[in-house]
Structure 1
């Protein structure tokens, strides 16, 4: 169970490899035909993904609405469009950069955990030729891939830009690609350089909008047909799980979910407690499983009794705290840490404690402080919804969720490392949620 997500990536890649060849070019054009449509396979967005894409005969235009950047993807071997010039590499402007790349991609640098997950789903992990110095991932096979590759560094600077009154220092971040022959860097943030591509599923406002970032990266490889197939599978399973929640009556048996954390200062003292809000897409997914997020804004408490009163009617608590654990660089609390941090005791009548219904999203983690939740949840919302359904349906907590670790039941963390990547392609798995007939 705990290796499920990484196995899914391999098995889906195998299925795609067996599919008929895609119509979009897999290499460079040797003889340009200006009348030909070089991208007969296309993608479109249906949900609140955060990017837009349009097609011309030999180039694509992607607008990243999150990072405020434009990517002009030109079929290699064909001319770049004159009306979409790249922003000059020495420009001091911040935002609204236009970056021009040849596609399909050959070798890229990696500085994005969700991008790592998507590359594995598409079977393009071998295109990674370098990674950011401090990037950590949980996928065992991607860990193994990165182990033998160059690590690149970020450069920070403040070039001056002039206006009519004074020089302004403009923050600038770029990647030092050194002598590595790389097309670009898949990253998380918009960079003021010509070689970075921001991948932002975490900013999507809709659960399925997050999965549409598979289409985003697929476009950089001319893999639109495969990206559509992967997305349609996720979309179909998500709809099936929604129907399951309705048909089994879960959506009529609403439970309340809250997000909380305790705040510990360096000397070990817990000084306060905080009730957080859920992000829009997370709230949507919980609602689709019949779970309702607590009402109210982000609130801090300096008195533990007031905090306990605030969470007294919650059915499920999702813990957001950080706690050092002496294993690698991980910061993952155990149940004893939470008992101390939240000051739980036998005299309280807290429902979440009595029902063993306290979770963290670190069930699958690496010893270097990365969680699979931050990789795959961003682009596999069908499996996240399955987690929510399992949590809702459990009368006394569940240890069967993929990403949500039950702390009162002391469900163990599955620590992944590069050594776990053995015979993965031989394992038989599917993207089935294991719930009802949703497969």
Structure 2
């Protein structure tokens, strides 16, 4: 039932060996009930005919048994040890496990209610066609998806951390099947687990590759029983991304200036970072491209200007800038940049939500192919002459 936690108590007796995620069941399951649950359990039947194959993501994996799957997040938040979640098909008995899985959370799937800790989860939920499962968001003001905004307004979706702190009592009263984290830790999670609410880490942001992050749609699919749909969606995104990257691969690299000042520091994409990989795939060239670290490089203004001031194109993400004048008002030193003179200043704020959230950070995680297409159209307009921009827009004079 919605609002009632469905986490099962883990027991510890004889362990069960886990099969590889590529295993395929040979038995035919009895017809499920209308809600997809098992009505006549048979221990020899494979109840997961659609199994996710993980291609690009490196921070999670899924293995299967006949009546449950094991989702393991290798690094649920930065520096953390792996966490495993036993996802049991509804109608099946709770498996009795030992070893590393003895104390793992057991969660009945498909879930009927989900509290989401990050707007980056929302596109996966909508693409999988399970928006009715969403019952909570941490902060509604950052949401850009119109359907989710409407559900927040109607009260179908509640906010549970609008001030930045999880309202533990409110979550316990709502009783979602799962609270999905945004890839960080919080003391409230231990309390929620103790109350019988599943807490599943979504640490997509720790993936270094754009496609790796997008593939976390398969984690949402594991919880909602939509593996076949997730494979279809992800395969389409992957094919689209690789096709656009192939278009740009033969083009002459274009010098670019990346990032901007934030609280006295210029955060520059390294070549090994999430955005750095996209800039490289789009045919961009910048001085810090050979840096292999996965994070941004904190630099001062002078260091950036010394090496990138002459770049004719500037790519930035700033929610507030609509014009070049707004950029100069933020820091008059930007006036020394060549891109200010050429007018080729492109800002990823073309799709903003009603509360000020930026869809670049929401839908862009699932759709790196759309970001890449924008970048290729900016840097190599001859390759995509009829492109309609999704996330980027050229700043007005």
Query: TM-score per shorter chain, which class?
Result: 0.7 to 0.9
More strand by share: 1
**For residues 75 and 129 of structure 1, what CA distance do their matches in structure 2 show?**
21
**For residues 227 and 84 of structure 2, what CA distance do their matches in structure 1 show?**
19
Which of 106, 109, 131 aligns to 2:137? It is 131
**For residues 345 and 107 of structure 1, what CA distance do their matches in structure 2 show?**
48
* Aligned position for 1:106: 112
For structure 2, which runs of at least 5 residues remain unmatched after alignment?
1-28, 77-81, 292-296
**For residues 333 and 159 of structure 2, what CA distance do their matches in structure 1 show?**
45
What per-residue deviation string (whole Å, max 9, x for no partner) do you get for residues 395-428 of structure 1? 9xx9943111222x36xxxxxxxxxxxxxxxxxx
Give the superposition deviation at 1:184.
1.2
* Aligned position for 1:226: 229
What per-residue deviation string (whole Å, max 9, x for no partner) do you get for residues 1-40 of structure 1? xxxxxxxxxxxxxxxxxxxxx9996521111100000001
Does the C-alpha gap of structure 1 residues 337 and 401 become closer, same or farther in structure 2, counting only changes over 3 Å? Answer: same
**For residues 212 and 392 of structure 1, what CA distance do their matches in structure 2 show?**
27
**For residues 33 and 387 of structure 1, what CA distance do their matches in structure 2 show?**
51
Counterpart secondary structure, 2:137: strand
Which of 280, 284, 292 aligns to 1:287? It is 280
1:259 is aligned to 2:247? no
For structure 1, which runs of at least 5 residues remain unmatched after alignment?
1-21, 89-96, 157-171, 265-271, 323-330, 411-439
Does the C-alpha gap of structure 1 residues 219 and 263 become closer, same or farther in structure 2, counting only changes over 3 Å? Answer: closer
Which of 310, 313, 330 aligns to 2:310? It is 313
1:30 is aligned to 2:45? no
Higher RCO structure (Cα 8 Å, ≥6 apart): 1
Does the C-alpha gap of structure 1 residues 277 and 287 become closer, same or farther in structure 2, counting only changes over 3 Å? Answer: closer
Give the superposition deviation at 1:233.
0.9
Counterpart secondary structure, 1:298: strand
1:274 is aligned to 2:266? yes
1:21-420 equivalence runs, <5 A: 27-67=36-76, 68-83=82-97, 98-133=104-139, 136-149=142-155, 151-153=158-160, 176-189=170-183, 190=185, 191-192=189-190, 193-194=192-193, 195-246=198-249, 249-250=250-251, 253-263=252-262, 272=264, 274-278=266-270, 280-295=273-288, 297-301=297-301, 308-320=305-317, 331=320, 334-343=323-332, 348=336, 350-394=337-381, 400-407=388-395, 409=396
Q: Is the 8 A contact 2:256 2:285 kept in 1?
A: yes
**For residues 38 and 177 of structure 1, what CA distance do their matches in structure 2 show?**
31
Moved more, 220-229 or 142-151: 142-151
Question: What is the count of residue pairs matched by the alignment?
Answer: 340
TM-score of the superposed pair, with normalisation by structure 1: 0.69
Does the C-alpha gap of structure 1 residues 220 and 263 become closer, same or farther in structure 2, counting only changes over 3 Å? Answer: closer
Counterpart secondary structure, 1:364: coil
Counterpart secondary structure, 1:244: helix
Give the superposition deviation at 1:175.
6.9
TM-score of the superposed pair, with normalisation by structure 2: 0.75
Give the superposition deviation at 1:212.
0.8
Give the superposition deviation at 1:242.
2.2
**For residues 226 and 31 of structure 2, what CA distance do their matches in structure 1 show?**
7
